[in-house]
A = this chain, B = another copy of it.
């Protein structure tokens, strides 16, 4: 932030407002406090028999690497609607959400990653605008070296581990 979005002044300073414990960007002209908070990444791990659906990214960052359908939750939608929307946009896949599967705080980028387990309703999926390819993978077929993010690798490992144990708890943690 270079200018105050309230009054347009460039007199922004980092300081600790009265009664607060953290440094905030504050406008010295109009006194507006500009809060910055983590964003929510909503997504879905679509599954079919012993396979999971991954998308090959057609956008940066990590162009050409594989990920789960997920993206920023928008105003005006619920977290489940966001997860289904992302699955539709990136993979043109219809899922029914089964359970909350992961909630991870991704510290480096100030994101909360909220992922549902989704049962694919059919195999009529194909790459959306943000994907180069969409494909089902069994555990043996996972392109481990070509996964886009650490959290995706964690998700995939959790899933096949849980699949062997026939139980899919909610995984909560941070990265």
Contact = CB atoms under 8 A, between A and B. Distances in A.
A134 interface: no
A165 interface: no
Interface string A1-26: 11111111010000000010010000
Interface in A153-175: 170, 172, 174
A62 interface: no
Contacts of A5: 1-5, 34
Copies in the assembly, this chain = 2
Size category of the binding interface on chain A: 35 or more
B72 A110 contact: no
B37 A74 contact: yes
A87 B129 CA distance: 43
A136 interface: no
The 8 closest A-B pairs by CB, nearest first: A3-B8, A78-B105, A78-B174, A75-B110, A5-B5, A1-B5, A79-B105, A37-B39
